Chain A
Amino acid sequence: MLRLSLPLRQALGRLTLPVLFAASFAVVLLGRLDLRVGDRARAVLSDALAPLYALIAPPVRALRVTADGLVGLIGVDNDNARLRAENARLRHWQAVALALATQNRALKAALHWVPSPAPEFVTARVVADAGGVYVRAMLLATGPNHFIHSGQIVLAHGALVGRIADVGARSARVLLLTDLNSRIPVLLEGGKGRAILAGSNGPRPRLIFATGAAPRPGEQVVTAGLADGIPPDLPVGTVRLTARRVPELVPYADLDRLETVQVVQGGLPPPAAAAH
């Protein structure tokens, strides 16, 4: 231990905080100058934490399922009645769908229709929320030798969830379509209008710069397949109008409760690889 005189030690003690404040401004500058520094540190941390979180996930999930089951018992009678009615309605629609599918197949055969290739995907487990107070994202456990790179799109049960933002050695981060920085070109099925789906950090992203007919509530929204190798016609959600008649989107994917997701292969390679 260095022996310093008392006044000197007090003077040094008083200097610590200002020096550290200056150092934090240096950290801010470093983070702004080179965004990769933070991303690399976060990827290392995510890689370290992903297995730990994957270990915690199953018991937590079991607990949540049990709790949901207990809560569900309360309304089980009403649920049964509602489901029976819904089942009857769905059986009708199933018959319609089967008839239409047969007709569709016949028409396609008559037209020599070239089917668009089904997207290839890998499935990954969601291990944790990788967002913060002001970020909407989640962490995937990918294993060591994965073929995931940033920019690829992510689906859950066929519906759009978001895009890969960062990739570590055994984890990847998905920026959800609700994040403030998410922008995805979409197509409105009814009016064939186009729009940009812009996240707002809230549960329902907004549809901005809509062209063609104004978005109508209940209208289907699919990916436009215009930018960065996003495949076209993937379901995203339905249109809903806010009280102020601003069009927003109700996503098909339940973004709060995702357990596994599909990462669609293809798409543009990351910018670093493209530069070479």
Chain B
Amino acid sequence: MVELGAAPGIRPRPSLWRRLDAMARAALPVAATVGLLILAGAPFGIPDQAVLGPTVAVISVFFWTLYRPASMPALVVFLLGLLLDLLNWQPLGAGVLLLLTVHAVTLRLRRPLGAAGLVAVWLGFAPVAAGAAMLLWALVSVLDLRLMPVGPALFQAALTAALYPVLAIPYAHAHRGAAAPERA
């Protein structure tokens, strides 16, 4: 975790603009996630497009919790889950529990995966993606009091694992640049 002014050394005085800049950088991961969630619901006419919502949310929460947990705090994860529930018409609370669980699991994975390369993190993410899809299936089944078809859950697991680098590579660039408050 990098905090402003935590490291010793000479730094410029935190002027208003600098502080605004730092705040914008700190908010970028959440803003990107919200933007992608809304975009995932846009009418592209892709078959089974609805799976994109939870996919994007799980990848974003995983990535930013792993690399910049200060920009993806638990309360924000909670609110993202609520947005996911509303956008995806699933029972209220299912997305909240899903994303909070991903967040909690990823916090545990920071020690083994934090310094690993993209491919190793991707391999570590695959079981998280599969678990997330199964958890969402179970939550929706329990909350709707009916057994949901398993097909979409398997598809979601595969898609989430497969799409990880598509989001992680631009996110990694942002992590070192536009989303780094310490560079403000």
Q: Please list the residues of chain A having a beta carbon within 8 angstroms of any beta carbon in chain B.
A: 16-17, 20-21, 23-25, 27-32, 37-38, 41-42, 45, 49, 52-53, 56-57, 60-61, 64, 126-135, 137, 180, 200-202, 256-257
Contacts and interface: CB of A to CB of B under 8 A. Distances in A.
Contacts of A17: 74, 100, 103-104
Contact of A53 (B43, B149, B153): B43
Given A27-B92, A53-B42, A127-B43, A45 B86 contact: yes
B90 A132 contact: yes
Given A41-B86, A42-B86, A53-B42, A24 B152 contact: no
Contacts of A38: 85-86, 91-92
A256 B43 CA distance: 11
A42 B93 contact: no
A49 B92 contact: no
A42 B74 contact: no
Contacts of B94: 28
Interface residues of B, number: 44
> Most chain-A CB neighbours within 10 Å: which of B75, B90, B146?
B90
Interface in B94-116: 94, 96-97, 100, 103-104
14 contacts: A16-B74, A17-B74, A21-B97, A24-B93, A24-B96, A37-B92, A38-B91, A42-B86, A56-B42, A60-B42, A129-B43, A129-B50, A133-B54, A256-B47
> Most chain-B CB neighbours within 10 Å: which of A61, A126, A132?
A132
B182 interface: no
A200 B81 CA distance: 26
B17 interface: no
B2 interface: no
Nearest to A179: B89
A41 B83 CA distance: 10
Interface of B: 38, 41-45, 47, 49-51, 53-54, 73-75, 77-78, 81-82, 85-94, 96-97, 100, 103-104, 136, 140, 143-144, 146, 148-149, 152-153, 156
A54 to B, nearest CB: 9
A57 B43 contact: yes
A84 B94 CA distance: 53
A37 B167 CA distance: 33
Contacts of B100: 17, 20-21, 24
Contacts of B96: 24, 27-28
A132 B89 CA distance: 6
A134 B140 contact: yes
A135 B156 CA distance: 14
B92 A28 contact: yes
B93 A56 contact: no
Given A132-B50, A133-B51, A180 B89 contact: no
Nearest to B47: A256
B5 to A, nearest CB: 12
A127 B144 CA distance: 26
A129 B39 CA distance: 12
> Most chain-A CB neighbours within 10 Å: which of B45, B53, B103, B104?
B45
B43 A60 contact: yes
Contacts of B44: 60
Contacts of B42: 53, 56, 60, 128
Contact of A28 (B45, B91, B136, B149): B91
Nearest to B48: A133
Given A28-B143, A134-B90, 19 more contacts: A17-B104, A20-B77, A20-B100, A25-B97, A27-B92, A27-B93, A30-B92, A31-B92, A31-B143, A32-B91, A38-B85, A61-B45, A131-B88, A132-B50, A132-B90, A133-B90, A133-B136, A133-B140, A133-B152
A42 B86 CA distance: 6
B91 A128 contact: no
A133 B50 contact: yes
A24 B97 contact: yes
